[in-house]
Structure 1
Amino acid sequence: MLRGAPIIGEMVMKTSLAGLAAALALLLSASPALAGPSQVSPAITATKGRAAEHVKLDDLRKPSEILAFADFAKGDTIVDLMPGTGYYSELLSRVVGPKGTILAVEPAPSYDNDKARAAWQRLVADYPNVQLMPIDFRGLALAPDSVDGMMLHMVFHDLYWQSEQYKFPRLDVAAVLANFYRAVRPGGTVVVVDHVGPAGDTRDVVEKFHRIDPQTARSALEAAGFVFDGESDVLINTSDDMTKSVFDPAVRGKTSRFAYRFKKPE
C-alpha cells in the first residue's frame, strides 16, 4: 500500500515481484557529539494510539532516549529503513509532525503476508504522514538531497545478509551506502542502532548471529562520507553473550545494542 505525497524529486525502484520498474515521487524540503537530553516529550511515546505490540517493547528499546539522541525535527523527511511492523515509524511520525514525512522502506517479501499487511493498513490509516514503500532493495535509489535523515533500527547488519528462503538478495553495501549519502541533505542525520557483534568476517558474523561489530558499521558509514557525531550507551548490556544469535531465547530482546549518530557534512 503506497500513499502519494507532494512531489519534489523521486525515488526509483525496481520490484522483482511484478517484474516492473516504477518511479515514486518524494516530498523533499549540526549537532554536538553528545547524546543530548535523556528524553523527548512524553507525548511522543505516550501509549494511547500506539499498537499494543509496540508498547510492550518500550522497556527494552528505550525509545524516549533513542529519539532524543537522534534529534530529528518537526517537518523532517525521514527514511525508516526496514521498519518491520513500524515500531519506529509510528514514533517518528509524532516527532516530525503533520508537516513531516516518514518513508517506511520495507523489503517487498516482508510485506507479503496477512499480519504485515494488517499492521501497516492500521498504521498508515492512523498516521497519515507515514508512507509505506515495499520494494526490491536491489532497485532502491533515493533521490539526491531528498531526505533529512535516516533511521536504521537493528537492521544495519541486514545490509550484509542474504537469504533465498526470505527472498532477501545479496547487496553491494558500498553502493547502498553511497546512495544513502547522496540522498541525505547536507547537515542531515543517520542513526544506527544494532546488536553488538564480535569482530570477524562481517557476512559470516551476520549469518551466524544477526549481529555486527560496531566498528564495522562505523567504518562503513565513514567510508561513505558520513561523519561520526556521537553515541549513546543506553542500550548496552554488559552481560550479553555475543556468541549467541539474537534469536536465541537466552538473549532475545536483551542483546547489547550500540547507538551511533552520523552527519552528512554541510
Structure 2
Amino acid sequence: MKKIALLAAAILLHGCATDSALSGLNDQHKQQLQTITQSLPAEHQARYAARNPVETLAFFGIKPGDTVVEALPGDGWYSKILMPYLGENGRLIGVDYSLAMWPEFGGFATPEFIEKRKGWPAQWSGDAKSWGPAKAEAYTFANLPAELTGKADAVLFIRALHNLARFDAKGNYLKQALAETHRVLKPGGVVGVVQHAMSEDKPDAWADGSRGYLKESAIIKAMTDAGFEFVGSSDINKNPKDQPQADDNVWRLLPSLSGTEAQKNQNRMIGESNRVTLLFKKK
C-alpha cells in the first residue's frame, strides 16, 4: 500500500485544483440548486448539513440539460434533487448492482429478494418521473445499453463504491462498473465520487469496503487504473469527528445508528461519516 499512498500524494500535490476553480456552475445554476433543495420536505433537508448537496453537485459541475448516471440511487435522495434540476432537456439514469452480485451479501439476499430486485429498474424509473421533468430510466451495471456509449456528461458514485470494492475479487464488480462508466461517458465527461473514508494510516483490512469505508488512495488508484484522470478533491463532506477504530463500521453512525443505546448516544455526537469528495474525468 506504500506505493498507492505515494501515488495518491503525488496526484493530490500536482493535480488538485481548488473547489472554486473546479466548479463549472454559474450563479444562475447554483441558485437553481438552492431553490430546488429548499423546496424539498423537511426530512430531506435534515440531511443537508452532512450531505451538502448544493456544494457537492456544484463541485462536480452538474448542469441543467446534462445526461447523468447515478449509481445506486437508493431511495432517490439525490435523484429528487437531480430530476427537477436537470430539467426537461436532461436525462437521469439510475444504475443498480449487477444481479449476480446480490447473492454475495448473504443473509437478506434470499432468492426471493433477488427475484424481486429484477423489478427495480422499472420501479425506480417510474417513481423518478414524479420527482421532476428530466427523462428517467434505469439499468444494472451488467445491462447498460450500447446506445449509451459516449452519451453521459457525468457519472455519480455517491456512497456507492464500498460494496463494489468489497466483492470485486469474487466477480470483478468494481472493475465492471468502472469499465461501463468509462464506456458511457463522453470524452471529457466527469465522475463524481463521495465515499465514506478511512484514514490512510489505518490498516488496509479496515478499508476493504466490508465496513463501508475505503481509503482515498485506493479510490484514486482504482479510478486511474480504469483510465480516468484525477482532477481534484474537496473537503465539502469531511467529518474529522469520525475516527473509526478496530471494530467500527459506518453503520454505527447516523442515519443507521446500530449498536447499544450507550453507543448510539455517543455516535450521535459524531454525526454522519467522514467522506472524501473526488472528481475524475475521462481522458
Q: TM-score, normalised by structure 1?
A: 0.72
Contact 1:160 1:170 in 2 (8 A): no
Contact 1:195 1:211 in 2 (8 A): yes
Aligned-residue offset at 1:94 = 3.1
- Encode CA deviations 1:6-48: one digit per residue, 9 max, x unaligned: xxxxxxxxxxxxxxxxxxxxxxxxxx9321269821223222x
Higher normalized strand content (fraction of residues): 1
- Residue 170 of structure 2 is aligned to residue 173 of structure 1: no
- Residue 155 of structure 2 is aligned to residue 150 of structure 1: yes
Aligned-residue offset at 1:177 = 1.2
AA aligned to 1:260 is L
Aligned-residue offset at 1:86 = 0.8
The two structures, once aligned, show a CA RMSD in angstroms of 3.4
- Encode CA deviations 1:88-140: one digit per residue, 9 max, x unaligned: 112122332210101111347687499x99887554223242524253x4445
Contact 1:161 1:203 in 2 (8 A): no
Aligned position for 1:28: none
Aligned position for 2:18: 34
Aligned position for 1:189: 190
* Higher alpha-carbon deviation: 142-151 or 210-219: 142-151
The 2-side partners of 1:120 and 1:228 are apart by 31
- SS where residue 17 of structure 2 aligns? coil
Aligned-residue offset at 1:158 = 2.0
* Alignment partner of 1:72 out of 62, 76, 99: 62
The 2-side partners of 1:161 and 1:149 are apart by 24
Note the 1:7-86 alignment, pairs <5 A: 33-36=17-20, 40-41=30-31, 42-47=34-39, 50-86=40-76
* Higher alpha-carbon deviation: 254-263 or 38-47: 38-47
The 2-side partners of 1:128 and 1:134 are apart by 19
Contact 1:198 1:205 in 2 (8 A): no
Question: Relative to structure 1, is the Cα distance of residues 153 and 204 closer, same or farther in structure 2, using a 3 angstrom cutoff?
Answer: closer
Note the 1:90-169 alignment, pairs <5 A: 90-107=80-97, 112=117, 121-133=126-138, 135=140, 137-140=141-144, 143-162=148-167
Contact 2:229 2:280 in 1 (8 A): yes
The 2-side partners of 1:222 and 1:72 are apart by 21
Contact 2:152 2:184 in 1 (8 A): yes
- Residue 189 of structure 2 is aligned to residue 205 of structure 1: no
AA aligned to 2:209 is V
Q: TM-score, normalised by structure 2?
A: 0.68
Aligned-residue offset at 1:157 = 1.4
Query: Aligned pairs, how many?
Result: 225
* Consecutive unaligned residues in structure 2, runs of 5 or more: 1-15, 100-112, 258-266
Contact 2:60 2:279 in 1 (8 A): yes
Question: Relative to structure 1, is the Cα distance of residues 203 and 77 closer, same or farther in structure 2, using a 3 angstrom cutoff?
Answer: farther
Aligned-residue offset at 1:52 = 4.7
Question: Relative to structure 1, is the Cα distance of residues 120 and 51 closer, same or farther in structure 2, using a 3 angstrom cutoff?
Answer: farther
Contact 2:151 2:186 in 1 (8 A): yes
AA aligned to 2:228 is F
Larger Rg computed on CA atoms: 2
AA aligned to 1:205 is D
The 1-side partners of 2:18 and 2:179 are apart by 26
- Residue 268 of structure 2 is aligned to residue 254 of structure 1: no
- SS where residue 247 of structure 1 aligns? helix
- SS where residue 262 of structure 1 aligns? strand
AA aligned to 2:17 is A
- SS where residue 180 of structure 2 aligns? helix
Aligned-residue offset at 1:196 = 0.6
The 1-side partners of 2:183 and 2:70 are apart by 16
Aligned position for 1:23: none
Question: Relative to structure 1, is the Cα distance of residues 227 and 113 closer, same or farther in structure 2, using a 3 angstrom cutoff?
Answer: closer
Contact 1:141 1:179 in 2 (8 A): no
- SS where residue 125 of structure 1 aligns? coil
Contact 1:197 1:205 in 2 (8 A): no
Contact 2:167 2:173 in 1 (8 A): no
Higher normalized helix content (fraction of residues): 2
Contact 1:86 1:120 in 2 (8 A): no
- SS where residue 237 of structure 2 aligns? coil
